[in-house]
Structure 1
Amino acid sequence: MRRKLTAIGVGVALLMTVFYACKKDTKSPDSKLDKVSKIVAEKCLSGASSLATQSTTPYNVYLYKITDNGDGTYTWEWRVRNLNPGNGTGGTVQDLSHWDISLGDCVTIADVVSGATSTDGVTWNPFTPKFEVDKSQSCFTDKILKFDLGTTGTDISYYRLTINKNVSHTAVTGIYKSGANTGCGSLETCGFGCE
């Protein structure tokens, strides 16, 4: 009986930690809560039955949190980090110039209320999101939404979109663009699903 209660207590504590990690916006990129929230947010890449690792790209791109703003809008925040910065040779990756994300099947640009980027997660620079061809790269020639902020070294860069729909999250296509050595390529990350 005592073992059952202990196991139940550990299970409840783990669930509370996962729930808290999804809600908590920690400033330290290496904290335990940040690592747990990355794993929980990225589970859409491998389905609900297992927890995924990071997105398939030279950059660590992940959906960090989704916030219900209480007014019918929802803010989605992604974070990107270069885990092996360098000149793009010998296994290193050049700083990200910018990245693009698909809106998925159920969200249109008319549903996107606003966008913002940040280099520190505190001071946000708003931009007007556009859904158009990104002519600065040749890896994807369809319309896509561009986040025009890159990375510096191993520092995290922050990206937000606020939409007027409450949708689930699912795996979507993204495109990364960097320097001549690393170039551009596709990635898969958590993005807008359907209601």
Structure 2
Amino acid sequence: MLSLILSLGIGASVGAALGYFGQCASGTCPLTATWWRGAIFGGLCGLLFYASSARDLAGSRELSRADGPVQPVREADFETEVLQATTPVLVDFYATWCGPCKRLAPVLVEVAADYAGRVKFVKVDVDRARSLAEKYQVSAVPTLMLFRTGKVEGALAGAPSARELRGRLDAWLGVGNRPTPQNR
């Protein structure tokens, strides 16, 4: 709220100063020819600045926060967090702008709880880790890949249901008919 007030105030002040000192001497007057029109114009510019910066900040907060059992992994940490992991790792290659990726997020959290201690769940933003997406030939998002001892054991493009994801994980891990919350 404070940043909104500051953006409006600074914009209006700059606009008013431009209007006051930029008086109309020719036949055509600019939008900021008077102090009050300059203040209105500057306030609107400040509001636009606030709206664009607030959206950018929200996006960066979304990327930096940890989503419970599904941890974000940066490109620089991929080798230690995924390739050198002692347990299997399910990697969600996603994008922040992707609708199916957003729908998949709560499914991953739910399934991660069932596999706690047996499978590590991480996510990689393909827009921030383009070389990883290229290396593992991620051509669609979301793409899920299971890594075990540094190698890809299985891959799935799209947003599966929790039941489908559990079935895929069990198949990749070589687990028999493990009871799940749906079929207990």
Q: Rg bigger for which structure?
A: 2
Q: Which has the higher helix share?
A: 2
Larger relative contact order (CA 8 Å, sep ≥ 6): 1
TM-score, normalised relative to structure 1: 0.27
